[in-house]
Structure 1
Amino acid sequence: MGWTDTLEVVLDLDEAHPDVDPQYVRFTDLHRWVTELERFEDDPERSNEKILEAIQMTWIEEKD
C-alpha cells in the first residue's frame, strides 16, 4: 500500500485510530500515522500536502 492508495490508507487509519475525528488531525500526525501502518510500503518522503489533504478528506467522508 502506498500514498496513492487513499481508500485503503483511510480504512487502515480508521481501524488504527477509531476514536479520532480526522477533521482535527494535523498533517504531521497524519503523515506519521500513515507511515506507521503495517501494510504501508511506500517511501515516506514521497508524500506532500496534496496527498495528505486527499487522505484527510476521504477519511472525513468515510466517518460521515
Structure 2
Amino acid sequence: MAREITWNDSEEIGIQLQEKFPDLDPLTVRFTELHKYVTELEGFSDEPAKSNESKLEAIQMAWYDEYQDAQG
C-alpha cells in the first residue's frame, strides 16, 4: 500500500507524476489538469479543496525537476 500523501508532499508527488506521465512536460500542464492528476494519485489522501496556486506551483516545479533528470 502506498503511503498517504498530501498537498504538502510536493517532492513525492513530483516523483509519482513523473513515473505516471514520463513523456509529459510538466510546464505544459495547466493547474486544473495538475489538480486532477494529483487527486487521482494512489495514496493521495488530502482534501481536494485544500490546494492553492502556490502548492500546485511547488508540485509542478518538483515534477519538472524529475522530468529534467529523466531527460538526461
The TM-score normalised by the length of structure 2 is 0.84
| Counterpart residue number, 2:54 | 50
Partner residue of 1:13 out of 4, 13, 17: 17
| Counterpart residue number, 1:4 | 8
Larger Rg: 2
Structure 1 residue 32 corresponds to structure 2 residue 52: no
Would you say the 8 A contact 2:14–2:62 is kept in 1? yes
Structure 2: gaps of 5 or more residues: none
Identity %: 53
Extract structure 1 runs of 4+ deviating beyond 3 A: none
Q: Give the drift of 1:62.
A: 1.7
One-letter amino acid of the structure 2 residue matched with residue 19 of structure 1: D
Number of residues of Structure 1 aligned to a counterpart in Structure 2: 64
Would you say the 8 A contact 2:22–2:67 is kept in 1? no
Structure 1: gaps of 5 or more residues: none
One-letter amino acid of the structure 2 residue matched with residue 12 of structure 1: Q
